Amino acid sequence: MIFGKKVKKMPRRRYRTIIGEAKFKDNSTGICQNISGTSWYIKNFNNIPGYFLRIGNTFKEFPAACFESTTNKPNNQENKCEKE
């Protein structure tokens, strides 16, 4: 409640973390593709694209806005992606 009024919460989307390259690249869970030789991958789950950043042996999904922001300004060190 804010100032005595009930506030409707927006649904929160959960982002995936997949550990292990073999598990991530398993085509039975969706086709994945590396994006232009970078650490970014796109993987479809139920025909919905997810944007993943490879960090070591872990693939962490990020919001599409974060991916687009990063690719539009590749050399900007101040460009930070916040969790939704």
pTM: 0.69
Residues 6+ apart with CB under 8 A from 37: none
CA atoms within 13 A on the CB side of 73: 9
What would the pLDDT profile of 70-79 be if each residue is shown by its tens digit? 877 655 444 4
What would the pLDDT profile of 5-62 be if each residue is shown by its tens digit? 666 666 667 889 999 999 999 988 888 999 988 899 999 988 888 999 999 999 999 9
C-alpha span between 38 and 35 (Å, rounded)? 6
Question: CA distances (Å), 23 to each of 20, 37, 48, 54, 83, in order?
Answer: 5, 20, 18, 13, 24
DSSP state of 81: P
| Of 2 and 53, more confident | 53
